Structure 1
Amino acid sequence: MKRDYAFAAPNPSLTLLEPFRAAMEFAFQQCSAPREAVPGDGHPVVIFPGLGTDGTSVSILRAHCRQLGYEAFDWGQGVNVGPQCELGAWLAGLADRISVQLEKHAQPATLIGWSLGGLYARELGKLIAPRLRQVITIATPFNGGAADSNASWLSSVLGGRAASIDPSWIERLRVPPPLRTTSIYSRSDGVVAWETCRHGTRSRLTQDIEVDGSHMGMGWNREVLDIVADRLGQHAGPWRRYVGTA
């Protein structure tokens, strides 16, 4: 659905405070107990890191999933430097590589993506949907537009050296995968406009969940970890929507 308005960039003060806030979230996570969760069923969980980071940045999230009883691993491509060729071809190649990783698993997988990694997770959710059970994104700006103030960032990471984003890709990124999709976002995100992390229309397969946190600290934010545990614990059948959502 096209928009005739733009979203503003995060307040500069929030951006400057990102490292401090992320450190505080890390300290809180280390000394707080997780919410009681349903024991995991062992299904695979693939985690995609944000721009400029690798599996180390999602190590707490990965360990959290494993402690719950899931077979969690990162995307296996090293540092996320963005697509290295035409976006469609690059995503198709990534889908093939992830599919190979999932071949040894009988159960459908969950894809979790942080920031830019969430765009990968959503698009792979469309390309390899039969192999998956759900997609979870964390601080991922999928509902942006060419006029948004953070569009230049999105252009640089998705289009390489291109000066602008192909309008068709803007529309494609807004469309959710044909399976359960959760978007976790924060109004105090200091990197991306929080509005771009919400679906434009509601459906029975999508849910947007608001938390209080920084962009950089989302991977270990206690509330985010609790939401992930709840999403992973969903069984087949009707989707139990998370309580306390926006």
Structure 2
Amino acid sequence: MTPTPPPSKALWAAELPRAVWAFASLLPARAMLDAAPRGDGRPVMLLPGLVNSDRSMTIMRRYLNGLGYRCTGWGLGRNLGNRAIGAGAEKLIAQVEALAREAGEPVTLIGVSLGGIIARFAAHRVPHAVREVITVASPYAGDPRATNVWRAYEWLTGERIDGAATQAQRAEIAQPLPVPATAIWSRSDGLVSGYVCRDPADSGCRALETPGSHMGVQWRPAVLRAIADVLGESARERAPG
């Protein structure tokens, strides 16, 4: 099988200006975002991307809380990978289970980029505590070299992507989830190939394409609305009568 190549240098170079444009488009998109389905009060945990912290998810958290969900961050500081699925796996699992116990129901996990990969890891390990997983621009379904950031990932986390333990973990994460899942991806992503952000062979995971950059994906209006629609759909399915 031919390896999936990383995004082109042109897309990579356009990442920052497209992220700025996405942020600037939030205000004009206000009516579209406000028209999203109302929330049902379910607990939601947001998991940030590589080297980012809960602060990077502020816009998404405020938006979903405004719709009527109970959003929280992951509370584990900056996402350096091994804090959550390496040495820090027990802390992540404890956070998810504690939130589920406190809420009295399973938690919906929404993860951006590396955060989505970690969300899938948690769902595999404690499916009883997870209601649903939504990944956003998360390259979980293919070769990590199909990105323009894999060397940075190795440097920042101290993990080798071709190490035996990492490969075994990646294989587990890519397996179909035991809970409902949605993968939001973009073929115009400049940092990670959108084609490894969803698995066409996994019929249990819905794939939704939203064009745009990788940087700032967590505040892109189309992504925020797609997430709200997915949550709203499952809320209607749960509603009595």
The two structures, once aligned, show a CA RMSD in angstroms of 2.4
Distance apart, 1:106 and its partner CA: 1.5
SS of equivalent residue, structure 2 residue 217 = coil
Give me the TM-score of the superposition, normalised by structure 2: 0.87
- CA–CA separation in structure 1 for the residues paired with 2:25 and 2:10: 22
Residues 21 and 214, structure 1, Cα contact 8 Å, conserved in 2: yes
Deviation at 1:192, TM superposition (A): 0.5
Residue 7 in 1 paired to residue 4 in 2?
yes
Shift of 1:80: 1.1
8 Å CA contact 2:6, 2:145 repeated in 1: no
After superposition, the Cα gap between the structure-2 partners of 1:18 and 1:149, relative to the gap in structure 1 and judged at 3 Å, is closer
What is the letter of the counterpart of residue 30 of structure 1? Answer: L
Identity %: 33
Contact 1:145 1:151 in 2 (8 A): no
1:91·1:123 contact (CA, 8 Å) conserved in 2? Answer: no
Deviation (angstroms), 1:21: 0.3
Q: Structure 1's 130 and 185: CA in aligned 2 closer, same or farther, altered over 3 A? A: same
TM-score normalised by structure 1 residue count: 0.86
The residue correspondences of 1:1-246 to structure 2 (distance < 5 A) are: 4-32=1-29, 33-35=31-33, 36-84=35-83, 87=85, 90-145=88-143, 148=146, 152-153=150-151, 156=154, 160-162=158-160, 164-166=162-164, 167-203=167-203, 205-233=204-232, 234-235=234-235, 237=237
**Going by fraction, where is helix more abundant, 1 or 2?**
2
Structure 2 residue aligned with 1:241: none
Contact 1:159 1:165 in 2 (8 A): no
d(CA) in 1 for partners of 2:11, 2:110: 25
Secondary structure (helix, strand or coil) at the match of 1:219 reads helix
Segments of structure 2 that go 5 or more residues without pairing to the other structure are none
Partners of 1:159 and 1:56 in 2: how far apart? 20
Query: What is the CA-CA distance between 1:147 and the residue it aligns to?
Result: 6.2
- Matched pairs, number: 233
Specify the SS of the correspondent of 2:169: helix
Describe the SS at the equivalent of 1:225: helix
Residue 244 (structure 1) aligns with? none
